[in-house]
Structure 1
Amino acid sequence: MAMRRIRAALWTVVCVLLWMVVAGCGRTEGSVLNDLRNLRDSLKHYRSVAVMNVKTQGLEQVYHIETWYQAPSYYRIQLADSRGQVQQVVIRNDQGIYIVSPPLKKSFRFNGDWADNQGHLYLFGSVIDRILQSPSRTYTREKGTVTFDLTMKPDNPLIGKQRVILDDRTLYPKQIAFFDRQGRELVTVQFQQFDPGATFKSSDFDPQQALALGPKDEPTWASGPFGVIEPTWLPQGWSRTEVQDSGGTVILRYRGGAEGLTLTEAHPIRTETALPGRAELWDLFGVPAVVTEGNVRTMYWTRDGVQFAMTGSLPPEDMARIAISTFEASGK
């Protein structure tokens, strides 16, 4: 009997020591990946609140982001400026994807989805998929967090690496960051809340509700003169060939060898625009854009009361880089 008690005590000590060793080692990368896979499959709805800091080409901006998600495919991404005023809302429901600009009472509707390698700032399911599918990732664990560094595609001209920091216990997002190819931080999203218990009604994903978030009176900047807004970056060998300014609409034309590009700038008309065919949703670091399909494509985006339309045969990655370079430009 005494021997059995001694053996039982020794076995208890061994079990405790083994548990301490395992706890000291912490989560392995394999166990985290498996838990992330299970979390993605079980995540039916959530609400997240985050602050995004964007640093591009000498310009620094702050956005307040609130995301609602309802499985299998509904979402609502609200983007507000540093003052908390809602500028744009991205909504997906059974009718398609909408980009709504409440201050301008303007919306785009199209059929499609996020472009490849896009959407990984706002939708946590996409973040998890990016981690699981990354062919090149680095895993580290610190007190209270686990971190994945993910190498981006070679054809991405802006982003070299994505970093995802998760809570060690829940694996909920704490921070997402993008770095350029020189290792400089471009975008940081700091999550303040992540609530998987939030539930929503179908009407919460109605674009008309998002339009109602705008002011009753049109802002003065939405109708006043804006000058000529020129991009500060163009592909090598490209240059401007023509500027037309009619007072309400600006048309800029560029050429690079045999290729051409047209950039149109105007105040948008208060209406819903439905784009024919399929299109892709692109994130211009806080400004959503739509890119149509085809050899000759058009990218649409709205910023500071001006609607832009860029048409040409350049790759969407180059068009996105040109579009982002207009953010630091003021009308001349």
Structure 2
Amino acid sequence: MSKNKGLFVAVLAVMMIVLAACGGKSQEDVVGKLEKKLESMNGYKVKADMLMNTGQEEQNFDIDVLHKKDAYYRVQLNNDQDEHGSQIILKNDDGVFVLTPELEKSFKFQSDWPENSSQPYLYQSLVNDILKDEEAEFHETEQHFTFKTKTNYQSNNNLPYQEIYFDKKTYTPVLVKVLDKDQKALVEVKFSKFEMDPEFSDKDFVLEENMETEDKDKDVATSADQELDTFTVMFPLFMAGSELMEKKEINLDDGKRVIMTFGGEKHFTLIEEKRKSMEASAAPKEVKGDIVNIGHSIGALADGVIEWTKDGVDFYLTSEELTKEELIEVAKSVQGKEVK
């Protein structure tokens, strides 16, 4: 009897080991694995597609990310609706920059980007958001480990949550959904490639190299001459309870400027400007503010002002009365044509 009992205990122990091996991973196991992978990797290359429904129109971006440990980043965003090439967020030993190479424009920020906000296409941002959220929800499916966490979008309180899907074999991100307060996905990032510990060129994170374009010898001024006649004034679809009070059109020696003044519940000014010639600046324009994604473009947000470039037009939105969130919402909505 004792022999049979011993055999039973041995069989039971083996079954428990097998069941444990076949069972799912715990949240602590997965988080530990993600954290270990983040600490051990020397960098990565990512290709992803980002769909944004945070503005009045849907925006699509092709994203290429290079990250070299610890503080080198290059994020290239190509908007399929902008004919003037891509924008690049660059971080190196000299600072943080937003570049528009085709238009020879660059901004330099005194910023702690990307640590100051959630970034749905950066691996370390996703992992850090999980680590910081003690109430993060964890689920396991046949192919993915998924987390639902709080976000940290300082410039957008309307995106408080995100769902992150990791591949169960590689522990690399597959999909990120950024959700509004009603749990609706307004941003989706689909990762098509994630290469760990790749080789980098010495030029990958150099400002001057990233300002070069394939059409280096292209006559940008001639192109701008041809396009100036098609300069369409864009109108904000969200006006924070205000209305257009005055519109001035000023012909410049090398272009055109439109100044729109809005009044009512809040006052703000929107300036749109397009020039025939674009002079390359030896140094980037310095901004005491933050990088902000306004859906259709990457902008520079400082106290009471947002500036950005789209389709070869420079936009300046300024107000002493709009909150930061309202400034961003108005800027996102500058996509409509004025109704006569």
TM-score bucket (shorter structure): 0.7 to 0.9
Residue 271 (1) aligns with residue 264 (2): no
Residue 110 (1) aligns with residue 113 (2): no
In structure 2, C-alpha distance between the alignment counterparts of 1:76 and 1:147, rounded to whole Å: 27
Q: 1:17 to 1:56 in 2, by over 3 A?
A: same
Q: 1:286 to 1:174 in 2, by over 3 A?
A: farther
Equivalent residues in 2 for 1:210-249 (5 A)? 210-213=210-213, 215=215, 216-218=218-220, 219=223, 223-235=228-240, 237-247=241-251, 248-249=256-257
**Matched-pair contact (CA < 8 Å) for 2:290–2:301:** yes
Aligned residues: 321
Residue 123 (1) aligns with residue 133 (2): no
> What code does the residue aligned with 2:209 have?
Q
Q: 1:264 to 1:34 in 2, by over 3 A?
A: same
User: Alpha-carbon deviation of 1:288?
Assistant: 1.5
Give the gaps of 5 or more residues in structure 2: none
In structure 2, C-alpha distance between the alignment counterparts of 1:154 and 1:77, rounded to whole Å: 18
User: Alpha-carbon deviation of 1:280?
Assistant: 1.1
Q: 1:330 to 1:20 in 2, by over 3 A?
A: farther
Name 1:310's counterpart in structure 2. 317
Equivalent residues in 2 for 1:1-332 (5 A)? 11=10, 13-14=11-12, 16-57=14-55, 59-82=57-80, 86-114=85-113, 118-152=117-151, 156-213=156-213, 215=215, 216-218=218-220, 219=223, 223-235=228-240, 237-247=241-251, 248-255=256-263, 257=265, 260-267=267-274, 269-272=278-281, 274-276=284-286, 278-285=288-295, 287-292=297-302, 296-313=303-320, 314-326=322-334, 328-330=335-337
Of stretches 201-210 and 265-274 in structure 1, the one that deviates more from structure 2 is 265-274
> What code does the residue aligned with 2:248 have?
Q
After superposition, give the CA deviation of every residue in 1:70-111 in whole Å (9 maximum; x if it has no partner): 111110011123399842111111111121112212211222
Of stretches 308-317 and 154-163 in structure 1, the one that deviates more from structure 2 is 154-163
Q: TM-score, normalised by structure 2?
A: 0.82
**Matched-pair contact (CA < 8 Å) for 2:296–2:332:** no
In structure 2, C-alpha distance between the alignment counterparts of 1:212 and 1:127, rounded to whole Å: 31
Report the aligned-residue RMSD.
3.0
> What code does the residue aligned with 2:194 have?
F
In structure 1, C-alpha distance between the alignment counterparts of 2:115 and 2:263, rounded to whole Å: 27
User: Alpha-carbon deviation of 1:115?
Assistant: 7.5
User: Alpha-carbon deviation of 1:179?
Assistant: 2.3
- Identical amino acids, percent of aligned pairs: 24
Q: TM-score, normalised by structure 1?
A: 0.84
SS in 2 for 1:204: coil
SS in 2 for 1:239: strand
SS in 2 for 1:321: helix
Give the gaps of 5 or more residues in structure 1: none
**Matched-pair contact (CA < 8 Å) for 1:223–1:305:** no
**Matched-pair contact (CA < 8 Å) for 2:95–2:110:** yes
In structure 2, C-alpha distance between the alignment counterparts of 1:101 and 1:154, rounded to whole Å: 23
**Matched-pair contact (CA < 8 Å) for 1:282–1:291:** yes
